Chains A and B, each alone.
Chain A
Amino acid sequence: MDNLTSYLIISAILFVLGLYAVMTRRNGIAILMGIELILNSASLNFVAFNRFGGMTKLDGHVFSIFIICLAAAEAVVALAIIINLFKNLESVNVDHASSMKG
C-alpha cells in the first residue's frame, strides 16, 4: 500500500460517498458531513500527489492544511446557521425549509 493508485482509489471512494450523502440525506447536519467527506477526499488527493508525484515543492501539503482550516471555518458558520434555523423552525430537515417557492 505505498503506491499512488491505492490512495487515489480511496479518495475517489470518499468523494462518491460524500456526493451520495449530500444528495440523499435530508438532515442539514448529515449534508454537512457529506461535504466534509468531499473536502477530505480532495485533501487526501493533494497529499498523495505531493508524496508520490515526484514534486519538489510542498504545495500539496500546504493546500491540504488550508483545506482543513477552511473546512473548520465553514462548519462553524454552517452549524450556527442551522442552529438559528432550528430556533425558528424546530427542525434541521432541509425539506422543511421551503417557505420560498417559484
Chain B
Amino acid sequence: MTNLSSLSFYLPELFLIGIILLSIIIELIPGCRKYNYFVVLAGLISVAIMLSWSSTESVSIFMGMSVSDPFAIFFKWIFVIATFYIVLISRADNSLDKRLSGEFNILLLIVMFGLFLMVTANNLIMVYLSIEMVSIASYILAGMLKNDLKSNEASLKYVIFGAFASGLMLYGFSWLYGLSGSTDLHEISAALSGHMDQPFVIYMAILLVLVGIGYKISMVPFHYWTPDVYEGAPTPVTAYLSVAPKAAGIALLIRFFSSTFTTDISTTVSNIDWTTLVAVLSAITMTVGNLLALQQTNIKRLLAFSSIAHAGYMLMVIPVISVDARAAVMIYAVPYLFMNLGLFFMAIAIHNQTSSFEISKWKGLGSRAPLMAGIMVVLLLSLTGLPPTGGFIGKVYLFSVLIKFQQFFWLAVIGVINSVISLFYYFRIVKTMYFSSADDETVFKIHPLLYWSIISCVVPVLLLGIYWSPLINFVQHSISMF
C-alpha cells in the first residue's frame, strides 16, 4: 500500500506522535508544566479510542515496511494499558524527581511509540529501528535518578548489554540480507527456502537474531542485565520494563520466526531445527529464573528473576508453530500484565514508607493492611499459576498446547516442575506478610493513586480466573497476522 493511503491505518501512532510533541511544547512553557501529567493521560486515552476504531484488516502499509493486523492491535492495547498505569502512578513514587516528571512522561511515550513500531515491523530496517527506539529511551529512563549510584549502574549495564546485543543482531541481519537479497521478512523467507546449500550460515543468522530479541525478553543466557537493571532503575520504570517491552519482544519473536524462518504452517525454513533450540532455551530460562529467585531478599530482584521465569513460560510454546500456540501466548500476556504491575505498585508503596525494597519490610502486613495483603496473596497465587486467578487460565492454555503437540511434551513437564519451585519463593512473601510480626506497628499508609491502581489490577486477575471466555473470544479475533 502506498504511503498516503497507509496513513488511515496509522491513526493511533499519529496521535501518539502528536501527544509527544505537544507534551514537549508544554514542558517548555513554565506556567503550563503542571498540566503535562493530565495532557499525557488524556492523550493516552485518545490513543486508546483511536485504537478501538482502527481497522481489523491485515494489510501491509508504507510499502511493506510495517503491517497493520489484529495481532499487532492486541499488543498495542497491552502497551496503552501499561503506559497509562505507569504515568498514573509515577506521581505517587517518592523516589522520582518531581521536576523531571515531564521528561519521564515524554520518554515513556517515546518507548511506547517504539513498542508500537516493534509489533508492526515487517522489514529488517523497521525491526532494528524499533528495537533501538525502545532501547535508547529505556536506557535514559533506567538512569533517571541521576544522583543514585544504583540507577547510574543500572543504566550503564543496560546500555552496554543492549548495544552489544543489538550489534550482534545487526550482524545476523546483514547475513540474512546477503543470503536473500531483501530486507522484507516474507521475501527473506521465500528466498531462504531455496538456500539448502547454506544451512550453517542460516543457522548462524538465526542464532544472532535470537540474541537480539532474546536480550529484550531477558532470555537466558542473555539475562545478565535483568536483575541489576530492575533493581537500580526507578520502580515505575522497572514495572514498565517487566511488562511492555517483554510483551513486545515476544510478539516480535513470534512474527519474525513465524514469517521468516518458517515456510508454511509448521515447516522450518531449509529444515533448520531452530524449534528444538528455542525449546531448550525456554527450559533453561525458566529453570534459571526460578532457581535464582529462591535466594533473593530484595523484592525488585525477586520480581526480576520471576519475570525471567515468566519469559521462559511464554517462550515454551513458540517452538510449536501454530495458531493455538500464538493464542496461548496472547492469553498469558494479559493476566501477566496486571499481576506484575500490581506487585510492583505494592513495592512502591512500601518503599515510600520504609525507603527499602527488602522483603522483610513486608512483615505483619496481614494485620496492618488486611485488604492490601489479601490482594497481594491473590496476585502471588496468579503468578504461581494457581486457581482461581488469571495466571492459572494462562498457564492451562500454555500447557494444553504443549500436551497436544506431542514432540515437546517434556517441556510441559519442566514447566510444571518450575511452577512448583516458584510456589516456594512467592509464598515466602505470603509467610512474611502473615506469620512474621511487624518490627514497627505504625499504620500502613498508601497513596490513594497506588491504592486504586492495585485494586484495579486485581479485579481483572480475579475476573479472568472465573470468567475468561471474553478474553478467549478477543484473542480468537486478534489471532490473524499479516
Contact = CB atoms under 8 A, between A and B. Distances in A.
Nearest to A92: B156
A7 B146 CA distance: 43
User: Which of the four size classes fits the interface of chain A?
Assistant: 35 or more
Contacts of B296: 102
Contacts of A97: 152-153, 156-157
Contacts of A49: 174, 177-178, 181
A26 B124 CA distance: 32
Contact of A70 (B132, B173, B228): B132
Contacts of A82: 156
Contacts of A15: 171
A9 interface: no
Given A28-B160, A38-B164, A70-B132, A99 B174 contact: no
A19 B291 CA distance: 30
Contacts of A98: 153
Q: Which of A60, A74, A81 has the most CB of B within 10 A?
A: A81
Contacts of B156: 28, 81-82, 85, 94, 97
Interface in B240-256: none
Contacts of B139: 77-78, 81
A55 B149 contact: no
Contacts of A43: 174
Contacts of B154: 100
Interface in B124-164: 124-125, 128-129, 132, 135-136, 139-140, 143, 146-147, 149-150, 152-157, 159-160, 163-164
Contact of B155 (A38, A41, A63, A81): A81
Contacts, number: 125
B99 to A, nearest CB: 17
B110 to A, nearest CB: 12
A59 B182 contact: yes
Contact of A77 (B129, B149, B159): B159
Given A81-B152, A94-B156, A100-B231, A73 B136 contact: yes
B171 A41 contact: yes
Contacts of A11: 174
Contacts of A55: 181-182
B206 to A, nearest CB: 16
Say whether chain B's binding surface is mostly helix, strand, loop, or mixed: helix
A77 B143 CA distance: 10
B232 interface: yes
A66 B124 CA distance: 11
Interface in A1-46: 11, 15, 18, 22, 28, 31-32, 35, 38-39, 41-43, 45-46
Given A35-B164, A62-B125, A100 B228 contact: yes
Contacts of A94: 156-157, 160
A5 B178 CA distance: 12
Given A55-B181, A77-B140, A84 B170 contact: no
A35 B177 contact: no
Contacts of B55: none
B182 A42 contact: no
Interface of B: 124-125, 128-129, 132, 135-136, 139-140, 143, 146-147, 149-150, 152-157, 159-160, 163-164, 167-168, 170-171, 173-175, 177-178, 181-183, 227-228, 231-232, 295-296, 298, 301
Given A35-B160, A63-B128, 7 more contacts: A38-B167, A43-B174, A70-B132, A74-B135, A78-B163, A84-B155, A102-B298
Interface of A: 11, 15, 18, 22, 28, 31-32, 35, 38-39, 41-43, 45-46, 49-50, 53-55, 57, 59-60, 62-63, 66-67, 70, 73-74, 77-78, 81-82, 84-85, 88-89, 94, 97-100, 102
